[in-house]
Amino acid sequence: MPLLRFDVIEGRDEKSLQLLLDTAHKAMVEAFGVPERDRYQIVHQHPANELMIQDTGLGFQRTKDLVIISITSKTRTESQKEKLYALLAEKLEAECGISPEDLMVSITENGDADWSFGLGEAQFLNGKL
């Protein structure tokens, strides 16, 4: 936990997708302090015409390399979130060649009762996590 969903325009090869996921995970470990094996990632690939992501008046020039990361997580501090945004932009550009203008991140917070990792249990509530 956290759970990351990546929405991208279809066409990336398996190696590029794996690098994207690995790089995002490194940023998550560093910014949120999650354990290395605390990794939950899902990729959704879309035809270009199914993603309309404009710039909210900020002047961004989006390209086919657009990456939208939706994160569901327990509550994090503003500082942790800002660190994550900066690390994602920095690392994805350096390691994957993705421009910071092609990155959009959204975080939705929830609580302990909102997670079950299997076995029909709420592990944060029953003390297993």
Note whether 6 and 74 are within 8 A (CB): no
Which positions are catalytic? 2
Could you give the C-alpha distances from 51 to 2, 24, 36, 63, 112, in angstroms and in order?
24, 21, 31, 11, 32
